[in-house]
Each structure stands twice: as structure tokens, then as C-alpha cells.
Amino acid sequence: MTATTRPPFSLAGTLRNLFAWLVAALLSGLAIIVGFAVVGGIEAGRLDPLDSDFLEALIPGSLFIGLYVAALTALPTVILTWVRRAAGWYGLASHLLMGALTGAATIQIFGFPLQYGLEGLPMTGFFAAAGLVGGVVYWRLSVRP
């Protein structure tokens, strides 16, 4: 995790970070929808990502899940952003770590997959991966010029 000088607070920076978080949540929703479609297709024995039913549901489903992700990650994102900022971590690695932690923690808080033991690890990993997507998007959009 790279330590750099802390950029000053500004309204423009805050709005940019808010926009970056919202886009990151929406694209994490897209990753969740696509991931579930791939897993469902593999389990069903036919995986056709160009199926018209899937393509018709992709955008509205991604928006719905993305807004859900935004609602569930709002507070953890603010807390982890303050921690990251206080520590001076602004690199990609820190954003990936924070995204994965947010995804894994959020599914634990709201879905409790680990209450079923080791069977819940794949679901936790799946949502940590969706958090990685959000971390990359947030890092890319919120980087100061």
C-alpha cells in the first residue's frame, strides 16, 4: 500500500468520490448478475451468455442489484475511506483490499453465509470478488489528477 501526501478536502473531490462510489456499486451489481448467470448456466448444463432473456434482464437487474449494493455499502465505504485516508493509502492495492473487505463483510452482515460453516466460503468469496470490481472502479474514478 503506497503512502502519498493527503489531498486536501474539497467539494469537487467529495462529489467525485460520491460519483465514483455510485458507479462502483452499479458495476459491482453488474458483476453479481453476470456471476450468478454464469454459475446458474454451469449448474443447468447450458451456458449461453447471448441468450435474449439474459440480455433483456441484464441492465434492469444490474441497476436493481447495484442500487441494493449502494444502500448496503454506504456506511462501510465511508468508514473504510476514512481509515484509508487517515493511513495515507491511495494506491490500487489499498482500494482492492477495501473493496474486497466491504463485499465480504457486507454479505456476512446481511446474508450470514458463514453461519452454515465452510459451505458459506464460496458465497463470501463471490461477494469479495464483486467488491474487487467496485474497488477498481472507485480507484479509477476517484484518483485525483
Return the ∠ at Cα 12 (arms to 11 and 14), rounded to 5°.
Answer: 65
Cell numbers placing 108: 456476512
Cell numbers placing 62: 444490474
Residue 29 has pLDDT above 90, yes or no: yes
pLDDT of residue 139: 92
Tell me the average pLDDT across 3-9. Answer: 64
Q: Are 94 and 84 in contact (CB under 8 A)?
A: yes
Give the torsion through C-alpha atoms of 32, 37, 39, 45, to 10 deg.
180
pLDDT of residue 132: 96
Tell me how far apart the alpha carbons of residues 30 and 37 are, in angstroms, rounded to a whole number.
11
- On the CB side of 71, CA atoms within 13 Å amount to 7
Q: What is the pLDDT of residues 119-129, one digit of tens each?
A: 888 889 999 99
Tell me how far apart the alpha carbons of residues 80 and 56 are, in angstroms, rounded to a whole number.
35
pLDDT of residue 77: 86
pLDDT of residue 126: 94
pLDDT of residue 69: 93
Q: How many angstroms from the chain centroid is the CA of residue 135?
A: 6
Q: Which residue has the higher pLDDT, 5 or 56?
A: 56
Tell me the average pLDDT across 34-38. Answer: 86
Q: What is the pLDDT of residues 69-116, one digit of tens each?
A: 999 999 888 888 888 888 888 889 999 999 999 999 888 888 888 888
pTM for the structure as a whole: 0.84
